[in-house]
Amino acid sequence: MLRSRITPCLLVHRKGLVKTVEFKEPKYVGDPLNAVKIFNEKEVDELIILDIDATIEGRGPDFNFIKNIAIESRMPLCYGGGITTVEQAKKIISLGVEKIAISSAATENPQLLVEIGNAVGVQSVVVVLDVKKKGLFKNYEVFTHNGKRPVGKKLTDIVSTLNNIGVGEIVINSIDEDGKMNGYDFKLFEMIRELTSCPLTILGGASSFENIKEAIKRYKPLGVAAGSIFVFKGKYKAVLINYPDRIARNEIY
């Protein structure tokens, strides 16, 4: 049976751990490997690591980096960035990563998801949909390449395709709310929830652990991911890796 999960999402840019606001102005917040070590001690449910440079630079995954992260990680790990082939996915899984996160390649070639699922298991295939409002009527649209390139397909059609394929998980990431810490876009999430039976994770805008608790209470079971609240502390956003302890998590679940 699925259970709710609280998942830090770490962004890697130029080998460093960064945090963005609306996918812009990446702010350096530390060393990714050091962050993994701290999250190990905090016994997090799982960890998402996204290389935000790979697709932009037109390159594949950095296998040496992934290997070092996987060796250090004592929690389930999901990695994304530059994955465009079955061979790359198999290599990443062989390094000790549990899940493969795919974004641009998933919208360009949905058949790739089927092929990767056949190779490593459907449960290991995660699709990240970066979504923001556009136009006069503020319709939700999917973007790739760090929010710079519109997919050109209806969000509902993309989700329908993913549902028919039967991917292991869909991460709904709000570009509009990214890094703002104003709360999740529940309207966006509810729309997606009506379109698919695939396991879902919400990402973008988490304001507090109470906001995470609200999301889980509304949509349980649910994956709840966040970035800023796990790397910043206080109104001045001092860099501090943090995560609710086991007692607090039990109250949230």
Q: Kindly give the pairing relationship between strand 139-144 and strand 149-154.
A: antiparallel
What pTM, to 2 d.p., does this model score?
Answer: 0.96
String of DSSP letters for 39-106: HHHTT-S-EEEEESSHHHHT----HHHHHHHHHH--S-EEEESS--SHHHHHHHHHTT-SEEEESHHH
Which pLDDT score is estimated for 137? 77
Average pLDDT over residues 25-49: 96
The tens digit of pLDDT for each residue in 86-134 reads: 999 999 999 999 999 999 999 999 999 999 999 999 999 999 999 999 9
The domain defined by 5-252 folds into: TIM Barrel (3.20.20)
Which pLDDT score is estimated for 87? 98
The tens digit of pLDDT for each residue in 151-200 reads: 999 999 999 999 999 999 999 999 999 999 999 999 999 999 999 999 99
The rounded distance, in Å, linking the Cα atoms of 88 and 223 is 25
Looking at the annotation, which residues are catalytic? 130
